[in-house]
Chains A and B, each alone.
Chain A
Amino acid sequence: MSGQALHEPFEDLERQRLAAAFGMWIFLATEILFFGSAFLAFSVYRQLHPEGMLAAARETNIVLGSVNTAILLASSVTMAVADKAAEQMRKRETILCLALTAAFGLGFLVVKLFEYREDIAERLVPGPHFALTEPGAQLFFGFYWVMTGIHAIHLTIGIVIVLITIWRIRRGSLAYGRSGFLPSLGLYWHLVDVVWIFLFPLLYLGGRA
Chain B
Amino acid sequence: MFSNLIKIVIAATIVDNMVFIRYLALCSYVGITNSIDASIGMTFAVIFVQTLATAITWIIFHFFLRGLEYLQIIVFIFTIASLVQLVEIYLKKNVPSLYKAMGIYLPLITTNCMILAVTLINVDKNYNFIESLVYAIGSALGYGIALLILAGVRERLRVSNVPKFFRGYPLVFASMALIAIAFLGFKGLIK
Are A and B associated in one complex?
no
Q: Which residues of B line the A interface, CB within 8 A?
A: none
